[in-house]
Amino acid sequence: MSVKEKIKDVYKHVQSGTALDAFEKYYADDVTMILEDGTAVEGKDANRKRENEFFDSVESFNGMEVVGITANEESGKTSVESWMDVTFKGGNRMKLEQVATQDWENGKIVRERFYGTQQN
């Protein structure tokens, strides 16, 4: 399976509400995820906790679209542009627009960086 096929599968899981299944399948144990503010979160356990906290804070997903996916199979790099419309618990609704870049090694994401904006 190519890295482009794998990242498409990751986002299919996100769209279907099974993002954590994709996280378990495609992310390396020593993954580093760099958030929009530049904070680096090291390791699968710490990132799993962060992902669970995000999903626990969501009341409803009102829509999501993958705008584009690119992949460089030789270097093992992918990028995804997407948006999601989310209502958080407490009623705050936001449109989150994001570009995420991934570095793949041995079939797993070892580094992911997020760039994004939020609109109320």
What SS3 state is found at 45? Answer: helix
- Predicted confidence at residue 119, as pLDDT, reads 72
- Predicted confidence at residue 37, as pLDDT, reads 93
**CATH fold for the domain made of 3-119:** Nuclear Transport Factor 2; Chain: A, (3.10.450)
Q: Any idea where the domains of the chain sit in the sequence?
A: 3-119
What SS3 state is found at 20? Answer: helix
Q: How much is the pTM?
A: 0.92
Size of the chain in residues: 120
pLDDT per residue rounded down to tens, the chain (120 residues):
999 999 999 999 999 989 999 999 999 999 999 999 999 999 999 999 999 999 999 999 999 999 999 999 999 999 999 999 999 999 999 999 999 999 999 999 999 999 998 776
